[in-house]
Amino acid sequence: MARLENKVVLLSGGASGIGAATAQMVVREGGKAVLADRDEAKGQALAAELGASAHFVPLDVVHEESWQAAVAATVEKFGALHGLLNAAGVGVRNSIEDCTLAEYRRVNDINSLGTFLGCKHAIPAMKGSGGGSIVNISSVLGLRGASYAMAYCASKGAVRTLTKNVALHCAQQKYNIRCNSVHPGYIDTPMIAPRLDSNVGNMSGRQALEELHPLGRLGQADEVAHMILFLLSDESTFSTGSEFVCDGGLTA
């Protein structure tokens, strides 16, 4: 049997990178994928390519009404909601000295408020579907600090503990809804493309990032998607409130 047979999964950030790779895998494993993203062109195109088991909805994660509409559209289209992937996010470089308050708020709104709102509005729909699994993408930078990613670290630290709060709430309420966080190392997606192209000393940005990882290379979006798929599926039904690291040994 396919691993996500008849499971309906909503994916924020589903138009690109890790979200797109996961959407493809969800469909391949027998599930329905609703790609939700603010990049409508890319999202529509990928949904069309994936066929009848996929659907696109426009989503801006910082707006509550937008989440309400995306969840409603998912249930209307496929009749249920079993999985939520919160993968929409922005990677921004700034330090404590050069980050403005407006920029701090923007990064935290997208990465952290956006993830909270996804959880908030998925829970009632999952309750109505007999339960579900929420996967929030934090980062290795939700586990360790980096001088050049102050606001990003804060936002991913928030996602890490928010995830545990959601997991315990749903467990206490006996909703049969699990919630876990995934912490990728550097993954070769459009998010880090600017860093790959800029040189660090006499190394290319790509080489410098590759060397950070004990495995000596960047991660691929598919490698993170495999971990997410496990968490979305019934293979992981005893895992909730936990941190799943996929980082080529970076934090070891």
* Residues carrying an active site annotation: 152
Give the shortest CB-79-to-ligand NAD separation in angstroms: 24
Longest dimension (CA), the chain: 56
Nearer to ligand NAD, 31 or 184 (CB): 184
CA-CA distance, 210 to 124, in Å (whole number)?
A: 41
User: Does residue number 16 form part of the binding site for ligand NAD (CB under 6 A)?
Assistant: yes
Give the separation between CA 118 and CA 14, rounded to whole angstroms. 13
Percent helix, strand and coil across the chain, each rounded to 5? 50, 15, 35
Tell me: does residue 23 bind ligand NAD (CB under 6 A).
no
Residue 70 CB, shortest distance to ligand NAD, in Å, is 9
Instruction: Write down how long the chain is.
Output: 252
* Token pair belonging to 43: 């999202």
* Rounded Cα distance, 80 and 92, in Å: 35
Interaction with another protein in 153-172: which residues (CB under 8 A)? Answer: 153-170, 172
Q: Which residues from 25-84 bind ligand NAD, rule CB under 6 A?
A: 37-39, 59-62
Contacts of 219 (CB under 8 A, 6+ apart): 184, 185, 186, 187, 188, 213, 246, 247, 248
Smallest separation (angstroms) from ligand NAD to the CB of 75: 19
Residue 167 binding result from ligand NAD, another protein, none, given CB thresholds of 5 to 8 Å by partner type: another protein
From the CB of 83, what's the least distance to ligand NAD, in Å? 16
Buried b vs exposed e over 114-139: b needs ≥16 C-beta within 10 Å?
Answer: bbbbbbebbbebbbebeebbbbbbbb
Query: Which residues form the interface with ligand NAD (CB under 6 A)?
Result: 12-13, 15-19, 37-39, 59-62, 87-91, 110, 114, 137, 139, 184, 186-187, 189-192
Query: Which residues form the interface with another protein (CB under 8 A)?
Result: 64, 95-97, 99, 101, 104-105, 108, 112-113, 116-117, 119-120, 123-124, 141-142, 144-151, 153-170, 172, 241
